[in-house]
Structure 1
Amino acid sequence: MIACPPRFKFPWMLLGTLILPWVIEGLLGRGWVRILDFALLSVLLAIGLNIVVGYAGLLDLGFIAFFGVGAYAYALLASPQFGVHWPLWAILPTGILVAASFGVALGWPTLGLRGDYLAIVTMGFGEIIRVFLNNLTAPINITNGPQGITMIDALHLGTWSFARPHRLWGIPLPALVGTYYLFLLFVLLALFLSRRLEYSRIGRAWMAIREDEIAAASMGLDTRRLKLLAYALGAAFGGVSGGLFAGFQGFVSPESFTLQESVMILCMVVLGGMGNLRGVVAGALLLAFLPEVLRPLGGWQQHWFHRVLIDPSTLRLLLFGVTLVVLMRWRPEGLLPSRARAREWHTS
């Protein structure tokens, strides 16, 4: 018998997410609303990686490659690079299919690998994609190399452009707030689909593979097909996030899809709690906002010591790393672990 997913018990949380950008803009300024928009894209990425790492137990250090594939799919189909300007409803499904295909391409040769070997191969795959994006300029200039692609069409649905402010029922709607609601819609849809997958037969099969692949195969599960499906679905979420990123940013370059970004997304999943959607969302939001909270460190040093003792970027990374170490020391199972993972840590 398959368990049913729990119902959404806290509708006030949905109300809170709807008014959040207005509260942040009023208290912290419009720049923080833009940070919030990027945080939602990180949440979408973390949900996709959670399918691969949290559900199926497949360590992936190259997940940012699917983010880059989705971003470049949008950029090439909605910019002067190829002279085409597809609508959003046509670009995103195309980006999903392309990213899912790359997910299968990654999963197929790694089906027999586990642990460190799988991590090394996926890390290499992510770097291969970045190098290709950086060098696909001859004999046909496809990606425009390290200069990236500019003048990308803004996100729009019909005549509604998310790059311009609007009035909705007489209420002024800033562009960044409108973009927030668009990203929130995709995040909620991703959460719904991921939760349904978790409590489906496929999700149970993934968890069986995660716990013991040999035992799962002996029970008749097609582990090869299930692992490929996990890679494809996780990559699809990454492709959606990448497409939204390209339309929101208006510019993409290979420098946005480095190994460091892959590690950051993995940290979001592990720190929040692998396999638990609430934990994944919490980890993504925490790590998306934490670097920005630590950004004023240079000004604080100037105020306290009348000079800058340590470069702000270096100090920010140092404190960021210390924070991760402390959290993982006292909460090794994650901030909001799944029940099964929490029992593992408390009984070990």
Structure 2
Amino acid sequence: MSSLSSPAPSLSVPRIRRHPRALVAAVVALLFSGGGVMMHAESQPVVLALLAAFVLAFGVSDRTQIGREIAATCGDYRGVANGMALLCALILIVLFHADHYALLMLSTVAIFSTACIALNLQLAFAGIANFAGAAFFAVGSYTAALVTAYTTVPRTFAPLIGAIVTGAMGLVLLLPVLRTRGHYAALVTIAFGVLLRTWLEVNDVLGGPQGLKIGSFSIMGLDFARLKQIGPWSVSFYLPYATLSVCMFGLVFILVRRLENSWVGIALDVVRSDETAAAVFGLSIRLWKVVGFVLGNAIIGMAGALYGMMNGFVTPNGAGLGDSLLMLSIVVLGGIGNLWGSVVAALIILEVPEKLQSIQEFRLLLFALLVLVILLFRPGGILPRPVRDLSRFIDGAPK
């Protein structure tokens, strides 16, 4: 009787858990392989098939036991997943070493993912809705243009200077933001973006509506724009930018992840969740909002500077509200607070319209519908943020 009443052992869980690291590495490699094929694909049916495969994969991960187990295993072995993701990105760079378009798309996705990580830091951690992300992105690009054109500062430091200038500008904007609450704070950032774009358009010193040219990035005498050969191999001039973009994303990812898992991230979460309770427990609301907003804008400015140097120019159109909403759409679609979700969403939002030229005219409409569908049927986004586990801070809890 005891054998009949005991539950049947699960077969799927032991099989999946038998080699968890290999499983995680295989899943990450499969996802990056699909992204690489999409970057290289020229046929619209192939792109649509890959999109359908992605949708099916995420549906299986939600609706089936084995899918949920695989997703949980990937969450338990994040270090393996992160390391494998970096390795796969570098492999894609090597495979596409002579493909201008694929490397340009890879660089663009990495740079915008970096900027959206910063928006996650502001929105998901500090609770500040920044609707001027594209404006700060453009400030970084304009800073790089001025540094490369009018100063003798090495171009290697242009992204760092862009980060400093953008962070300082964010600190100035934070003064009225701290005096408002809720949607009023969001309106302040919207007004800043509109004012900045208008000022750039009428400012002849900064090129007016035509914008400015930006010098290419260089390091230790190596000009990225002139790199066309590595030994016997011909390479794209986007190759060094793709490598640098992936490295920048990796460093920012590690920084923000460390902050999230530290007492700084806990303080930011408390301030976002309940300002009254945070103040009761002695947390400074202003201090932590300053930390989140300024650091986020500095990262956005650094990404904008590198993006401008890669493209070679910047115009006021890049500071518009439409581009800011595009960046916020990446954050919401990917999953607010999930850093890898921004990568997946950036790949979909930035690359798919380029591959499906027939929908270019309806790009913004499709983005709006996509965000609405996500909010209705998957409010947490493609990759929802996992619940924070604070058991390691409890006395006697297993470490």
Normalising by structure 1, we get a TM-score of 0.83
Q: Give the alignment partner of residue 147 of structure 1, picking from 210, 214, 218.
A: 210
Letter in 1 for 2:79: F
Residues 1:33 and 2:103 are matched in the alignment: yes
Where in structure 2 are the equivalents of 1:243-258 lying within 5 Å?
A: 243-258=305-320
Letter in 2 for 1:43: S
Letter in 1 for 2:386: R
Instruction: Using the TM superposition, give the Cα deviation of residue 6 of structure 1 relative to its aligned residue in structure 2, in angstroms.
Output: 7.2
Instruction: Using the TM superposition, give the Cα deviation of residue 340 of structure 1 relative to its aligned residue in structure 2, in angstroms.
Output: 2.9
- Name which of structure 1's ranges 206-215 and 332-341 shifts more when overlaid on structure 2: 332-341
Seq. identity, %? 34
Q: Give CA-to-partner distance per residue, 1:34-76, whole Å, 9 cap, x none.
A: 1221111111110111110011111111122211111111101
Residues 1:333 and 2:396 are matched in the alignment: no
Q: Give CA-to-partner distance per residue, 1:114-164, whole Å, 9 cap, x none.
A: 221111111101112212222233xxx2x12112112x2111112212113
Larger RCO, structure (CA 8 Å, separation 6 or more): 1
Letter in 2 for 1:53: L
Q: Give CA-to-partner distance per residue, 1:19-41, whole Å, 9 cap, x none.
A: 22344578xx5323212211111
Give the corresponding residue for 1:285: 347
Is 1:149–1:251's contact at 8 Å kept on the other side of the alignment?
A: yes
Residues 1:62 and 2:132 are matched in the alignment: yes
Instruction: Using the TM superposition, give the Cα deviation of residue 318 of structure 1 relative to its aligned residue in structure 2, in angstroms.
Output: 3.4
Q: Write the distance in 1 (CA, Å) between the matches of 2:260 and 2:245.
A: 22
Q: Give the alignment partner of residue 16 of structure 1, picking from 72, 88, 98.
A: 88
Instruction: Using the TM superposition, give the Cα deviation of residue 313 of structure 1 relative to its aligned residue in structure 2, in angstroms.
Output: 3.3
Q: Give the alignment partner of residue 314 of structure 1, picking from 361, 371, 375.
A: 361
Give the corresponding residue for 1:308: none
Name the SS for the 1:339 alignment partner.
Answer: coil
Where in structure 2 are the equivalents of 1:59-208 lying within 5 Å?
A: 59-79=129-149, 82=150, 84-137=151-204, 141=205, 143-150=206-213, 152-168=214-230, 170-208=232-270
Is 1:294–1:316's contact at 8 Å kept on the other side of the alignment?
A: no
Letter in 1 for 2:278: A
Instruction: Using the TM superposition, give the Cα deviation of residue 167 of structure 1 relative to its aligned residue in structure 2, in angstroms.
Output: 4.1
Is 1:75–1:149's contact at 8 Å kept on the other side of the alignment?
A: yes
Q: Write the distance in 1 (CA, Å) between the matches of 2:355 and 2:320.
A: 23
Instruction: Using the TM superposition, give the Cα deviation of residue 212 of structure 1 relative to its aligned residue in structure 2, in angstroms.
Output: 0.8
Letter in 1 for 2:207: N
Name the SS for the 1:175 alignment partner.
Answer: coil
Instruction: Using the TM superposition, give the Cα deviation of residue 166 of structure 1 relative to its aligned residue in structure 2, in angstroms.
Output: 4.3
Give the corresponding residue for 2:282: 220
Residues 1:48 and 2:115 are matched in the alignment: no
Q: Give CA-to-partner distance per residue, 1:272-301, whole Å, 9 cap, x none.
A: 111121222222222221321322x1xxxx
Name the SS for the 1:8 alignment partner.
Answer: helix
Q: Which has the higher helix share?
A: 2
Name the SS for the 1:215 alignment partner.
Answer: helix
Letter in 1 for 2:143: A
Q: Give CA-to-partner distance per residue, 1:215-272, whole Å, 9 cap, x none.
A: 1111100110110111110011011011101211111110111100111111111111
Q: CA RMSD in A?
A: 2.1
Q: Write the distance in 2 (CA, Å) between the matches of 1:43 and 1:197.
A: 18
Is 1:268–1:287's contact at 8 Å kept on the other side of the alignment?
A: yes
Q: Write the distance in 1 (CA, Å) between the matches of 2:364 and 2:179.
A: 36
Is there any run of 5+ residues in structure 2 with no aligned partner, and where? 1-75, 389-399
Name the SS for the 2:225 alignment partner.
Answer: coil
Assess, with a 3 A threshold, how the Cα gap between structure 1 residues 174 and 25 changes in structure 2: closer, same or farther: closer
Q: Write the distance in 2 (CA, Å) between the matches of 1:180 and 1:40.
A: 8
Normalising by structure 2, we get a TM-score of 0.73
Is there any run of 5+ residues in structure 1 with no aligned partner, and where? 298-311, 342-348
Letter in 2 for 1:108: L
